[in-house]
Chain A
Amino acid sequence: MDILVCVKRVPATGGKITLTPDEREIDTRYASFTISPHEECGVEEALRLVEKHGGTTTVLTLGPAVAADQLRDAMAMGVQRAILLQTDGREWDPGETARAIVEAIEAQRAAGHNFDLLLFGNEAADTGDYQIGIRVAHALDWPCVTGVKALEIKDSTSTNNGSSAKNGSSAKNGSSALCRRESSGGWEIFEIDLPAVITVKEGINLPRYPTVPGRLKAKKAPIETMSVQSNENGLRMVRLKLPPAEGQKGEILGRGPEAAPGLVEVLQKLGVIAS
């Protein structure tokens, strides 16, 4: 099966967020960047599925030229191909992002690359828009299950090796995906036919670390780059702001084991233990 994973480059935030003076971005002068956590699990899931069922893995991102770093991170983990939809670095509206991804998928299809499964993160760590996977699924008329934390692909018995570009997918006819997602402490189970879009959540797996040879190989690997432009943003960011500070807290109960009785008093005051 041929899998495309869509990822987003986000800053690796630490203990504190600071904004740039124009209040339109997080100040990342001292920060590093990473693949948004849910999507990193999407990369891992794609690798595991292909290890088990055979096929190919491709990673795609929409972002500035430096977002190639995150594509190389995914390739260092083992992803074979990478596609960069290169922007001028400005933030895109989710509807426009989905449109560009669909166009890229159609271009891939025209070039003979037919995907059976698209993996997305449930929502990006930074903007949290919760809609790109669904918009892409709708445009392709594929089913979509979101928030998946356990995924199993059931192969059909009748295999179809050639890529059948006509129906837009090389999926073996009858392959299906069994998806489980959490719901108030329990699980909801869905079964859908491929081709499909699945958005995953962290916890579906524990992503592997890239190997050193993997890193070296990824460094030299080609990245297919397409320049993309946004027409109009229906949801426009005006500015960012930090939530009001909750005031200095942090009453120091003491240092070391001698502080234990102080904590016991706090627990008594809260009614957690009897006084």
Chain B
Amino acid sequence: MIIGVIEHDRGKLNDLSLQMLTLGRRLADQMNVPLHALLIGEAARPLADGLGAYGVSTVHLAQDDRLDEYAPEAWAQCVVELISAAKPEVVMAAGTDRAHEVLAHVAARTDLPMAANCTEVRPAETLEAPFELTRVRWGGSLLEEAQLTGTVKLLTVAPHAVAAEEVTQAFGGVPAVAAPTFESFSPNLADKDFRVRIAGRVEPDQTKISLADAKVVIGGGRGVGSDEGFKLLEELADLLGGTVGCSRAVTSLGWRPHADQVGLTGVRIAPDVYIACGVSGAIQHMVGCKSAKCVVAINKDPEAPIMAQADYAIIGDLHQVVPAVLEAIKRVSSR
């Protein structure tokens, strides 16, 4: 069987787990094995029934009162116990920080190899043979074809590599299982499995537009010239109901805080429009705005890499272009 480890935070499902199950379902069909899911902690119990629509035939629930708050080693031990009890061929999870953490602990405890952020998985004829897979490097700017060995194949699925699809849509009219078989178990968890456990939280500030969720992002690169220069971009962002982001060069220069950084080691944005001003377009930056519906580049260098990758480009000095854009928007809005 294939076991998908479902990620949730105090019972709230992470939707990337449904993408993972979709890839898992396709793999299970190819291998002719069932797809199971693992839920960890009582708070996740209500999620069980909904997983049937994604082709899950059995849901396992790990129960222990101490699992009411996230603890990576305890989560990993739940997976390890299910592996020894159920003997799956594959264990997979979504490619999130939390799931990478859990699966890496599983890999360490079982001494198995693990492949992170896979986009395609091709099973082998026999269990002993390695799987062929494709995974992402450099945040998606490069793909790697790899072989994964191990008696149990451990892998995570890159976010947005596949769209989440319910069984009825994806698998030729085979009716979805209404409710999967439900089995709960009490893993043997030691106190030590809880030595790393969330001890406190700071809830997000709901009043602020987060960069990850903003519909409009105005980005600034080295070409902005100074921290003062960002006032112009702030003005444009305010006018369009958006927020300001920046490139790594800018945070390295100390002009903006790292929380504003778009890219591989910063925030991944997905706005309706991203207007990049004075950003050259290094790949580390471009992977961060790959999900933007429309990218507009304003840059005085027509040869800057971003100019070919943007949907629209204006060749010119942002210090002249942006004020003109502000004027033009105000003119249209006041009509």
Q: List residues of chain A with CB under 8 Å of any chain B CB.
A: 13-17, 26, 37-38, 93-95, 98, 122-123, 125-131, 134-135, 137-139, 143-147, 180-181, 183-193, 201-203, 206, 233-243, 246, 248-264, 266-268, 270-275
Residue among B144, B203, B282, B325 making CB contact with A260, cutoff 8 Å:
B325
- Rounded to whole angstroms, the CA-CA distance of A246 and B132 in the bound complex is 25
Residue among A135, A206, A264 making CB contact with B329, cutoff 8 Å:
A264
The answer on a CB contact under 8 Å between B142 and A263 is no
- Rounded to whole angstroms, the CA-CA distance of A275 and B305 in the bound complex is 31
Judged by DSSP, the binding face of A is mixed
Query: Within B248-272, which residues are at the interface with A (CB < 8 Å)?
Result: 248, 251-252, 254, 258-259, 261, 264-266, 272
Residue among B72, B147, B261 making CB contact with A235, cutoff 8 Å:
B147
Name 15 A/B residue pairs within 8 A (Cβ), A-sorted.
A15-B281, A98-B108, A125-B284, A144-B72, A202-B265, A233-B113, A235-B115, A238-B144, A238-B147, A239-B145, A240-B137, A255-B315, A257-B323, A268-B332, A275-B332
- Rounded to whole angstroms, the CA-CA distance of A184 and B212 in the bound complex is 9
The answer on a CB contact under 8 Å between B195 and A143 is yes
Across the two chains, which residue of chain A brings its CB closest to B323?
Answer: A257
The answer on a CB contact under 8 Å between A241 and B143 is yes
Q: B140 — which chain A residues lie within 8 A by C-beta?
A: 243
Q: Once A and B bind, how many residue pairs between them come within 8 Å at the CB atom?
A: 273
The answer on a CB contact under 8 Å between A125 and B198 is no
Query: Within B304-335, which residues are at the interface with A (CB < 8 Å)?
Result: 304-317, 320-321, 323-325, 327-329, 332-333
Residue among B112, B141, B199 making CB contact with A243, cutoff 8 Å:
B141
Tell me if B105 counts as interface (CB < 8 A to partner A): yes
- Rounded to whole angstroms, the CA-CA distance of A261 and B332 in the bound complex is 9
A250-B311, A251-B311, A268-B332 known; A203 and B258 CB under 8 Å?
yes
- Rounded to whole angstroms, the CA-CA distance of A129 and B200 in the bound complex is 28
Residue among B264, B307, B320 making CB contact with A257, cutoff 8 Å:
B320
Across the two chains, which residue of chain A brings its CB closest to B327?
Answer: A260
Q: B117 — which chain A residues lie within 8 A by C-beta?
A: 128
- Rounded to whole angstroms, the CA-CA distance of A181 and B101 in the bound complex is 13
The answer on a CB contact under 8 Å between B143 and A243 is yes
Q: A131 — which chain B residues lie within 8 A by C-beta?
A: 100, 103-104, 107-108, 114, 116
> What 1/0 flags go to B162-196 for Cβ under 8 Å of A?
00000000000000000000000000000000011
Tell me if B139 counts as interface (CB < 8 A to partner A): yes
A186-B202, A206-B254, A266-B296 known; A14 and B321 CB under 8 Å?
no
With A129-B114, A202-B261, A206-B258 already in contact, 17 other A-B pairs whose C-beta atoms are closer than 8 Å: A37-B265, A95-B114, A125-B265, A126-B137, A127-B137, A138-B105, A146-B97, A180-B202, A183-B201, A184-B9, A190-B196, A203-B266, A235-B147, A250-B313, A260-B321, A260-B324, A275-B332
Across the two chains, which residue of chain A brings its CB closest to B331?
Answer: A264
Q: B201 — which chain A residues lie within 8 A by C-beta?
A: 183, 186-189
Q: A250 — which chain B residues lie within 8 A by C-beta?
A: 297, 307-313
Q: B333 — which chain A residues lie within 8 A by C-beta?
A: 273-274
Q: B283 — which chain A residues lie within 8 A by C-beta?
A: 13-17
Please, how many residues of chain B have a CB less than 8 angstroms from a CB on the other chain? 100
The answer on a CB contact under 8 Å between A26 and B142 is yes
> In the assembled complex, how far is the CB of residue A208 from the closest CB belonging to chain B, in whole angstroms?
11
- Rounded to whole angstroms, the CA-CA distance of A146 and B101 in the bound complex is 7
Q: B112 — which chain A residues lie within 8 A by C-beta?
A: 234
Q: A201 — which chain B residues lie within 8 A by C-beta?
A: 265
> In the assembled complex, how far is the CB of residue B154 from the closest CB belonging to chain A, in whole angstroms?
9
A206-B254, A263-B325 known; A254 and B314 CB under 8 Å?
yes
- Rounded to whole angstroms, the CA-CA distance of A119 and B104 in the bound complex is 17
The answer on a CB contact under 8 Å between B294 and A266 is yes
- Rounded to whole angstroms, the CA-CA distance of A241 and B323 in the bound complex is 42
Q: B116 — which chain A residues lie within 8 A by C-beta?
A: 123, 128-131
Q: B272 — which chain A residues lie within 8 A by C-beta?
A: 270-272
Residue among B105, B145, B258, B328 making CB contact with A238, cutoff 8 Å:
B145
Tell me if B124 counts as interface (CB < 8 A to partner A): no
A202-B266, A206-B254, A270-B293 known; A253 and B313 CB under 8 Å?
yes
- Rounded to whole angstroms, the CA-CA distance of A64 and B142 in the bound complex is 22
The answer on a CB contact under 8 Å between B104 and A134 is yes
Q: B216 — which chain A residues lie within 8 A by C-beta?
A: 272
Q: A248 — which chain B residues lie within 8 A by C-beta?
A: 308
Q: B142 — which chain A residues lie within 8 A by C-beta?
A: 17, 26, 240-243
- Rounded to whole angstroms, the CA-CA distance of A125 and B141 in the bound complex is 11
Tell me if B240 counts as interface (CB < 8 A to partner A): yes
The answer on a CB contact under 8 Å between A17 and B141 is yes
- Rounded to whole angstroms, the CA-CA distance of A239 and B133 in the bound complex is 11
- Rounded to whole angstroms, the CA-CA distance of A267 and B240 in the bound complex is 9
Q: B141 — which chain A residues lie within 8 A by C-beta?
A: 13, 17, 243
